[in-house]
Amino acid sequence: MSNVLKVAWLVLSVVAPATSQGRVEAAGSTRHFISQKFGFSMAVPAGWGVSTALDTPVYFYSPSSAKFIQDAIPPGGAVITTEPHDSVTGLGRSATTPEAWAAASAGALTSSSPSIEPFQMPKESGASRAVICSYDEATFSPDEHTQHSVAVFWEFNRKLFAAHLNYNATDSNGPTLEKIFLRTVRSFRPLDRH
């Protein structure tokens, strides 16, 4: 399990419930996570759960036949986390650009050097300088399975943000999960445009 996911789950379960500024608003069948603290909204993928325990969204999905046990992503399941740079520890903390943060993040989680490519965010998102990378990482679980991570890093209101999709690397549903992830990231909007 990635460090990002571990930290998100730890914060969700221990610290965040008393300090959350996130909420979900619904309009018809569409739901959006609203971050008052950071001034943005993001769509909640249809059929996915969302936690409002943090100031940024954590989305989770598992087929009805599976469930999350502790921090393990079930077969067919996935987690999308979004984080502000100011919550980062380790090598990524000193990064001042989306590219540098992506390189530090990937370097901490994998022994390879994944390519970091430009990523097009919609103009109305207010996000700039976005990049994307993907890689496999060990989970150090008893079955030694590998997790796949796709990450997008961007700048918004002079702050850096990242969104990570994590799922089991052997999951045949991976391409579908990645499409959902990219659509979710591209739904990012300033609150005045949501």
- Domain layout of the chain by residue ranges: 3-193
- For residue 47, the 8-state DSSP code is T
Q: What is the pTM of this model?
A: 0.84
Tell me the one-letter amino acid at 59: Y
Tell me the percentage of the chain whose pLDDT exceeds 70: 81
First to last CA, the chain: 32
CATH of 3-193 among 3.40.50.300, 3.90.1150.10, 2.60.120.1690, 1.10.150.120: 2.60.120.1690
pLDDT for position 17: 44
Q: Which residue has the tokens 């502790």?
A: 70
d(Cα 50, Cα 82) in Å, to the nearest integer?
12
**SS3 letters across 160-184:** EEEEEEEEECCCCCHHHHHHHHHHH
Rama region for 179: left / alpha / beta (φ>0; ψ in -120 to 50; rest) = alpha
Burial bucket for residue 158 (CB in 10 Å: 0-12, 13-18, 19+): exposed
Residues in the chain: 194
Span 59-111, pLDDT tens digits: 999 887 777 776 678 888 999 999 999 888 777 788 899 999 999 887 656 66
Query: Which residues, in sequence order, are bridge partners of residue 50?
Result: 59
Residue 115 structure tokens = 């390519």
Task: Calculate the alpha carbon distances from 164 to 19, 28, 34, 192, 193 in Å.
Answer: 22, 27, 18, 25, 23
Ranges under pLDDT 70 in the chain: 1-20, 70-71, 107-112, 140-144, 193-194
